[in-house]
Amino acid sequence: MDAETTGRLFYLTLLLVAVGGWVIVEYRKRMGEALRTALAWGLIFIGVMAGYGLWNDLRTDIAPQQILTQAGQIEVPRAEDGHYYLTLDINGTPIRFMADTGATNMVLSDRDARRLGIDTQDLVYIGTAQTANGIVRTARIRLPEVALGPHLDQDFPAWVNQGEMSDSLLGMDYLSLYRVEIAGDRMILRR
> What are 119-151's pLDDT values in tens digits?
988 888 888 887 777 788 999 999 999 999 899
Same domain, 56 and 72: no
pLDDT in tens, 12-22: 899 888 888 88
CATH code of the domain covering residue 164: 2.40.70.10
Q: Which long-range contacts (CB under 8 A, 24 or more apart) does 8-11 make?
A: none
Closest CA to 123 of 164, 156, 177, 159: 159
Could you tell me if 80 and 47 lie in one domain?
Answer: no
Does the pTM of the predicted model rise above 0.85? no
- Residues 121, 127, 131, 135, CA torsion sign: positive
What's the structural domain count of the chain? 2
Higher per-residue confidence, 166 vs 140 = 140
Its domain, for residue 37, covers 3-62
How far is Cα 172 from Cα 162, in angstroms, rounded to an integer? 20
136-80-167 Cα angle (round to 5): 25
Distance CA 45, CA 22 (A): 20
* Whether residue 131 sits in one domain with residue 74: yes
Query: Same domain, yes or no, for 108 and 143?
Result: yes
Q: Are residues 93 and 13 in the same domain?
A: no
With beta carbons less than 8 A apart as the criterion, state whether 149 and 70 touch.
no
Instruction: Judge if 56 and 74 occupy the same domain.
Output: no
